[in-house]
Amino acid sequence: MLKKKDVTNPTNAQLNKAMDKIEKELHAIIFMYKTDRHKYGNILDQMENDILQKKDPFPKTVSKASTLMEGWKAKSGNYINKYNEANDGIAFETDGKEKKQAIKTTKRRK
């Protein structure tokens, strides 16, 4: 980080500022890897592939990581998501006392 700014002999203030920035970035990366791999696995795979191409895809703060993951829309690939439109994780309890409705029949015309 300091090398990019051509700082060869950093001061204590410059070192502390750089270390704080690195710590924030590390917390953001840890936050992303501690989330649900089934739900956010695609975004993490894509970011890992971007790293192989020498890109820097990871957010720099936990707040930015949270915002990114909250708004992420991707196809569910290799990861199985048990919550879909038909099963969104909500369960309802029944008491077993269902009301039976009479079925009306119509007479056929001859």
Please give the pLDDT value at position 80.
55
pLDDT in 10s for each residue of the chain, 110 residues: 666 666 778 888 888 998 999 999 999 999 988 888 888 888 888 899 999 999 988 999 999 999 988 888 765 555 555 555 555 555 556 666 666 665 566 666 65
In a domain, 89, yes or no: no
User: Among 36, 5, 8, 9, which Cα is nearest to 21's?
Assistant: 5
Residue 44 maps to a domain: yes
Residue 55 resides in a domain:
yes
In a domain? residue 41? yes
pTM comes to 0.57
Contacts of 80 (CB under 8 A, 6+ apart): 38
State the pLDDT at residue 99.
63
For the chain, what is the domain count?
1
pLDDT number for residue 42 = 86
What's the first-to-final CA gap in the chain, in angstroms?
A: 90
- Is 18 part of a structural domain of the chain? yes
Whether 52 is covered by a domain: the verdict is yes
Is the residue at 107 inside a domain?
no
> What does the pLDDT read at residue 87?
52
Domain of residue 39, residue span:
12-71
